[in-house]
């Protein structure tokens, strides 16, 4: 289990992830959705179509600047399940 201190700035003890600690996942998800468009670097989201942990539909509605790739025959860990395909996608983004 991860030590809660790992998620805090060692100088200020503030949470590193930028949202209030203890918030439900839906609040953290909305916080990320509201801010992800501010990132100026290229972003590509790769999601396994068969993900039963976080449904692929969560990728719907992301800003148009974010490339979303749905990976067939992959679940929650497409970087392991479809490593070659994910590697090619990452290389193409660079």
**Residues ≥6 apart with Cβ < 8 Å to 18:** 31, 35
- Per residue of the chain (94 residues), what is the pLDDT tens digit? 444 444 555 566 665 555 555 666 666 677 777 788 888 888 999 999 999 988 899 888 888 888 999 999 999 999 999 999 999 999 998 7
Q: Is 61 left (phi over 0), alpha (psi -120 to 50) or beta?
A: left
What pLDDT, on a 0 to 100 scale, did the predictor assign at position 46? 95
pLDDT recorded at residue 1: 41
Q: What are the Cα distances from residue 30, in Å, to 3, 10, 35, 84, 93?
A: 25, 26, 9, 31, 26
This prediction's pTM: 0.65
Classify residue 19 as exposed, middle or buried by CB count within 10 Å of its CB (0-12, 13-18, 19+). Answer: middle
For position 16, what pLDDT does the model report? 56
pLDDT of residue 10: 59
Token pair 């070659």 is at which residue? 84
């Amino acid at each position: 289990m991860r030590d809660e201190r790992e998620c805090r700035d060692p100088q200020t003890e503030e949470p590193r992830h930028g949202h209030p600690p203890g918030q439900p996942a839906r609040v953290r998800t909305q916080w990320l959705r509201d801010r992800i468009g501010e990132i100026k670097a290229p972003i590509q989201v790769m999601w396994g179509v068969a993900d039963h942990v976080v449904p692929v539909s969560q990728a719907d509605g992301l800003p148009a600047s974010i490339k979303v790739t749905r990976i067939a025959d992959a679940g929650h860990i497409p970087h392991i399940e479809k490593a070659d395909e994910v590697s090619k996608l990452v290389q193409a983004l660079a």
